Structure 1
Amino acid sequence: MNLPTVAFIGTGIMGQPMARNLLHAGFPVRAWNRSAAKAQELSAHGADIASSPAQAASGAQVLICMLSDGPTCDAVLFGEDGAALALTPGSLVIVMSSIPVDTAVEQARLCAEHGLRYLDAPVSGGERGAREASLAIMVGGEAAAFEQGHEVLSAMGRPVHVGPAGTGELAKLVNQLIVASTIATVAEGLLLAERGGADPAKVHEALLGGFVDSPIWRQHGQRMLNNDFTPGGPAKWQLKDTRTALAHAQQLGLSLPVGSLVDSLFAAMVEAGDGELDHAGLIRQLRRNNPLPE
């Protein structure tokens, strides 16, 4: 069985291991990244390296976009030398970036105008999930498009079709609000243990297996204990996502008080210069908000 050629646009922290898993699954991959060196690392795994988005897409049956935000995706897909415009009708565009719901809906419309199928398929699981091909993949789009992309998506994680175009991004906003608030609560809990005189590492160990236990408690809690904030998911992108979620909630007439408070904490963290750190670094902001007595 011949596997489709995949154009992979955006080979950063998440995109590179995702593309690598496609290669390991046998998919031909043609990669492009704005910083060429990041794409070049994939050549050792068998990827062809393109000099432009359009060159990456030319002759591909599937185009995956894993870029930082909506405007960047729009420019790469539909701007000058746009990757989507280089695809033949019937090809599939999969945007795996975290972008606004309305942006995904509009991208789906533009793809349809060019005879292309479209999925918005953002992910959760961080760099570790990308490396281990265990990402949760929330997919919006038509059922036929999901069927067309299922094998490709399954090489990177667990895809679930949640509804029409835009609903993948909506599911990701739900995910990001829950992740952000959970990270904030884990940080508060460990700070309370730390300042209350307990051994935070032992508190962390004691709560494993209980209702508190979760990947965030295990992974990000451990990062907080180790003060290791090497970015898997930078705080600046967490803030982007909470801002997007709150803006969409406002469009729906919803008030989300917990999400708003957590968003303000991440905003303070970014303003303090920690935006490039992993979002687990929020505990640093809580420590700044609660200085030790002189």
Structure 2
Amino acid sequence: MKKLGFIGTGIMGKPMAKNLIDAGYPLVVYDINHKALEEMVDYNAKSASSCKEVASQSDIIITMLPNSPEVEKAVLGKDGVIEGVKRSQTLIDMSSIAPLVSQKVAKELEKKGVDMLDAPVSGGQEKAQSGTLAIMVGGKEEVFKQCKAILEAMGKPILVGDIGAGQITKLVNQTIVAINIAAVAEALILGKKAGVNPQRIFEAIKGGLAGSQCLTDKGPRMFQGRFNPGFRIGLHVKDLNNVLATSRELHTAMPLCAQVMEMMQTLMAEGHTDLDHGSLALFYEKLNGISLKEE
């Protein structure tokens, strides 16, 4: 069985790594958070002191990090993955980062004879825990086939194209999610303002064309005022920054995405950076002077 390395055991990475251990894979892990490392060691992982050490002890290295700079540092920086790799290894980056950075990292690893997949995920903490994440993969088909069983221990992987295609697909996903959550909050506020119980509206429409995973997951959170992450506003803003930067490079107009980005920026300015992105409801509640929370 392949020896796996896992770098980044935060809110998403920790349950993903645990699912790999549950599937029987030997795992060596690294995180700058020592407490997170200790928890993984208690779960039968082996700890490493650097990204370089993870790479030197693994056949396949997985990274799950916050953003492009962290991935570049972990892979290409001092004591990074690239200093510990050997020819014929594979890096699977499951972080959500800029597509151009994925392509840059892949080119540098290729010089060492190392393959790479970019494989960002969607589904949040709950699906990371249940091993049912949507996994959007870019890279060579033969490398994808070699790694498919590993990815299936964490969710449902789909190959969407060459390196960078996984990240583009994730940007599309994050755009749709952001706009969808905003639409759910906006519409439910209208219903409540008109005097109709929003929970009854939710029950009436969730099985129709307006139904979506966003409505199903975030509607109940809005009714309960329960905005613990989940998926943090601050991370979604990071993703939308990558969306809008990419759209500018491609001269693609994205007015709805830009509008929701401003809503999220407002929430961050009000101190809500670490709340779930379902807290977009708070933006509408403040704007309209009404709460969706059940009375």
Contact persistence 1:85–1:114 (CA under 8 A): no
Alpha-carbon RMSD across the aligned residues, in angstroms, is 1.1
Alignment-derived partner of residue 233 in structure 1: 231
Q: Deviations over 1:57-110 (max 9, x none)?
A: 222001000000000011011111102321211100011000001001101101
Alignment-derived partner of residue 212 in structure 1: 210
Contact persistence 1:7–1:31 (CA under 8 A): yes
Report the AA paired with residue 253 of structure 1. Answer: H
Contact persistence 1:84–1:93 (CA under 8 A): no
Alignment-derived partner of residue 113 in structure 2: 115
Alignment of 1:22-171 (within 5 A): 22-171=20-169
**SS of alignment partner, residue 274 of structure 1:** coil
Alignment-derived partner of residue 172 in structure 1: 170
Report the AA paired with residue 247 of structure 2. Answer: A
Unaligned runs of 5+ residues in structure 1 are: none
**SS of alignment partner, residue 271 of structure 2:** helix
Q: CA deviation at 1:122?
A: 0.1
Matched, 1:196 2:190: no
Contact persistence 1:16–1:39 (CA under 8 A): no
Report the AA paired with residue 269 of structure 2. Answer: E
Unaligned runs of 5+ residues in structure 2 are: 291-295
List structure 1 segments (4+ residues) > 4 angstroms apart after TM superposition.
none
Q: Deviations over 1:141-191 (max 9, x none)?
A: 111221221111111111111111001000000000000000000111221
Q: CA deviation at 1:266?
A: 1.1
Alignment-derived partner of residue 224 in structure 1: 222
TM-score by length of 1: 0.96
Q: CA deviation at 1:213?
A: 1.6
Q: CA deviation at 1:203?
A: 1.4
Aligned equivalents of 1:201, 1:224: Cα separation in 2: 10
Aligned equivalents of 1:72, 1:155: Cα separation in 2: 25
**SS of alignment partner, residue 273 of structure 1:** coil
Q: Deviations over 1:183-204 (max 9, x none)?
A: 0001112211222211112211
Contact persistence 2:28–2:57 (CA under 8 A): no
Q: Deviations over 1:3-60 (max 9, x none)?
A: 2111100001100010011001111111111111112212232111222222222220
Alignment of 1:257-268 (within 5 A): 257-268=255-266
TM-score by length of 2: 0.95
Contact persistence 1:235–1:275 (CA under 8 A): yes
